[in-house]
Copies of this chain bind each other. A is one copy, B any other.
Amino acid sequence: MAITIKELAAAAKVSVATVSRALNDDPKVRPETKKRVKHFADLLDYNPNILARNFKKGTSNIIGLILPDIYGEFFTEIIRGVDAVCYEHGYYPLVASSHSERSMAETMINFMGQGIVGGYIVMAPVLSDDLKSIIQKKNLPIVLINGRMTYEDCDSVGVDNQASAKAMVTHLIEKGYKRIAHISGSKKNNDATRREKGYVAALEEQGIAVDKKMIKSGDFDIVKGEQICREFLSSKNKPDAIFCANDMMAIGCYKAAATMGFKIPEDIAIAGFDDIFVSQFMTPRLTTVRVDTELIGKTAADLLIKRIAESQISSFSKIVIPSTIIDGESS
């Protein structure tokens, strides 16, 4: 066991209270006393037991980061961003996935009232009623990532999926594409539905009729993306461009095009969403929407840490992280 405040107090010949105050930079402590205490703390290699501190204060410097799953770049970058900000502020991120078999709501309840975390960042692609009620009766600060941005009861950070998708499709139209198909994500996924709405909005704004047959769900999956692209390419009314709801499905399209002998972008233009790492190395370079995912994580952590530190509740923020169109050679 490491050295305790008592031993440090004895060494510095002051009371434990003074040690505590000195180490917490209480202005009431005389500078020379403070100095002596700190000197001995260094000397004896003293580290306050954070557990005891958190326990006593009823808060925690640990942030619960609850993700629907842990895979792929998106989550990694969120974790990375959260980690970076946590480090700056002396917080630690506790990462938990919802483990599919249990609901996300359960995971959150598990954390609650246990004292382990001082607040959480929740990434909920689907905002169930369970989850909503938990957020509403929350006893800990919560920041939502990419949740429904209209939600009024907590802070949230995310991308404007709809506007970004709309911008991308508009960009394709401006480049001269007339028949733009869309491979959407899962119907249940909030991001996916927003992106599809953006696609529809762009067409409507440009006076292009929306053809339902030109929208197919690929579940964000690379293999499904390939499959659907194959269907599009072999249909009689072949599209001249495909906007995929994520880059993974776009990669699937590349594969389909290659094996079917279609050249990108001459025979079929492809656009994605996310700008994952490999996209910049694909030949031709994928046209896509870049989202600074790490910034989402950072912003969420910043928000949460502020929220944990403050006592009174100020109004909730909804922060939109901007996205950029990467005009690659695939369109």
What is A's interface to B at a CB cutoff of 8 Å? Answer: 1-3, 45, 47-52, 54-55, 58, 60, 62, 70-73, 75-77, 79-80, 83-84, 87, 92-97, 99, 110, 112-116, 139, 222, 251-252, 255, 258-259, 277-278, 281, 283
**A141 to chain B: closest CB distance in Å?**
15
Interchain CB contact under 8 A, A116 and B50: yes
Report A137 CB to chain B, min CB distance, Å.
11
Of B47, B76, B92, B116, the contact of A72 (CB 8 Å cutoff): B76
User: With A47-B114, A49-B114 as given contacts, are A62 and B95 in contact (CB-CB < 8 Å)?
Assistant: no
What residue in chain B is nearest A276 (Cβ atoms)? B278
**A116 and B95 form a contact (CB under 8 A):** no
Chain B residues whose C-beta falls within 8 Å of the C-beta of A96 in the assembled complex: 83, 87, 92-93
Cβ contact within 8 Å between B116 and A51: yes
CB neighbours (8 Å) of A77 from chain B are 71
* Minimum distance in angstroms from A160 CB to a CB of chain B: 25
CB closest chain-B residue, reference A82: B95
Which residue of B70, B73, B277, B281 is within 8 Å of A79 (Cβ)?
B70
What residues on B are CB-neighbors of A110 within 8 Å? 47
Decide if A83 touches B70 in the complex (CB within 8 Å): yes
